[in-house]
Amino acid sequence: MKKNTSYNTGKAVLEIKDLYKGFGDLKVLNGFNLELYKGENLVMMGKSGSGKSVMIKCMVGLMQPDSGNIKILGKDISTLSHQEMDELRTEIGFLFQGSALYDSMTVRENLEFPLRRHTDKFDLKNTDELVMEALRNVGLEHTIDQMPEELSGGMQRRIAFARALILQPQIILYDEPTTGLDPITSKEIIELMQTIQDKYNTSSLIITHDVDCARVISNRMILLLDGINYVEGTFEELSNSKDPKIKAFFK
Ligand SMILES: Nc1ncnc2c1ncn2[C@@H]1O[C@H](COP(=O)(O)OP(=O)(O)OP(=O)(O)O)[C@@H](O)[C@H]1O
Ligand SMILES: [Mg+2]
């Protein structure tokens, strides 16, 4: 698999500057910075409870930071109206831990769901085509009329992946994409992430504890520690670090 680690000269599609967020006495983010460049796979690691999900929630406007600045595709999200934020969200695909498919909907209906929410961006006459393309991307065209419960865990994850892709987002956020999957299925998901990056030049922020996943998929890595971007660099740089705090992530 080819790896390019020279993205940091490119254009940032996502910029987080000096982000602070706490809950009462608990300080979670303490001046966190991050830039995600066009076309890169940026892996973020951080201990459980370090604030990775809080950061993602701030990024997509589900949570208000205490201070700091978040720019997505050049737009400062604190200045956007509800509707503008909703539009911007069509440029961001999510793949959350677990698959989070709607149990009572078929695969087709699950994939149509985001399209129906954004009829301004997508012509509903073309949904069949978009659904098929998304399913082709994950190799599961034949499941279109099945219910989620009829599919294996790995297949459900791939359908969730297809749903995240259907709005043709420029940015994809992955929260623990391989957790709970067996090694072979994990490998399939990682290959799929790589295929999507190659095909669409998407920019991805990948939160994972999976060192193998980080090794294979990352162009660059960032460690969230003590509320800050403690260190950034390539997998090779970080995994060879002598700093015990950094080494702990690669055990
Ligand atoms: N709405 C909230 N109210 C109060 N505390 C919160 C809230 N959301 C998160 N926290 C706290 O913020 C800290 C960071 O939580 P977060 O969910 O971001 O961790 P995480 O890095 O995603 O962990 P994990 O790897 O387990 O998913 C935790 O201590 C959590 O209890
Ligand atoms: Mg989390």
84 part of a folded domain: yes
Q: How far apart are CA 113 and CA 102, in angstroms?
A: 10
2 part of a folded domain: no
Mean pLDDT for 235-242 is 96
Q: What is the pLDDT of residue 3?
A: 52
pLDDT exceeds cutoff 90 at 99: no
Q: How far apart are CA 231 and CA 133, in angstroms?
A: 38
Q: In the structure encoding, which two tokens stand for residue 171, read together? A: 């940015």
Q: Whose CA is nearest to atom 2 of ligand 1?
A: 23
7 part of a folded domain: no
Q: Whose CA is nearest to atom 28 of ligand 1?
A: 49
Q: Quick one: which of 151, 175, 152 has its CA closest to 164?
A: 175
Name the domain count of the chain: 1
4 part of a folded domain: no
94 three-class SS: strand
Residue pair 175/56 in contact by the 8 Å Cβ criterion: yes
1 part of a folded domain: no
User: What number of other Cβ atoms are within 10 A of residue 30's Cβ?
Assistant: 14
pLDDT band at 60 (very low <50, low <70, confident <90, very high): confident
Mean pLDDT for 202-212 is 93
Cα of 49 from ligand 2 centre, angstroms: 7
pLDDT band at 153 (very low <50, low <70, confident <90, very high): confident
This prediction's pTM: 0.89
Q: How far apart are CA 41 and CA 165, in angstroms?
A: 16
Q: What is the pLDDT of residue 188?
A: 87
User: CATH number for the domain including 157?
Assistant: 3.40.50.300
pLDDT tens for each residue of 157-170: 899 989 988 888 99
195 part of a folded domain: yes
Beta bridge partners of 95: 174
Beta bridge partners of 179: none
For the ranges 24-33, 108-117, 191-200, the one whose mean pLDDT is highest: 24-33
187 part of a folded domain: yes
pLDDT exceeds cutoff 80 at 124: no
Cα of 177 from ligand 2 centre, angstroms: 12
Q: Whose CA is nearest to atom 7 of ligand 1?
A: 23
Q: What are the φ and ψ backbone dihedral angles of 120, each rounded to 5 degrees?
A: -65, -30
Cα of 206 from ligand 2 centre, angstroms: 12
Domain carrying residue 51: 12-248
pLDDT band at 31 (very low <50, low <70, confident <90, very high): very high
6 part of a folded domain: no
Q: Whose CA is nearest to atom 1 of ligand 1?
A: 23
pLDDT exceeds cutoff 70 at 101: yes
Residue 50 beta carbon below 6 angstroms from any ligand 1 atom: yes
Residue 180 beta carbon below 6 angstroms from any ligand 1 atom: no
Cα of 245 from ligand 2 centre, angstroms: 20
The protein residues having their C-beta less than 5 angstroms from ligand 2 (an ion) are 52-53
Q: How far apart are CA 198 and CA 200, in angstroms?
A: 6
Residue 54 beta carbon below 6 angstroms from any ligand 1 atom: yes
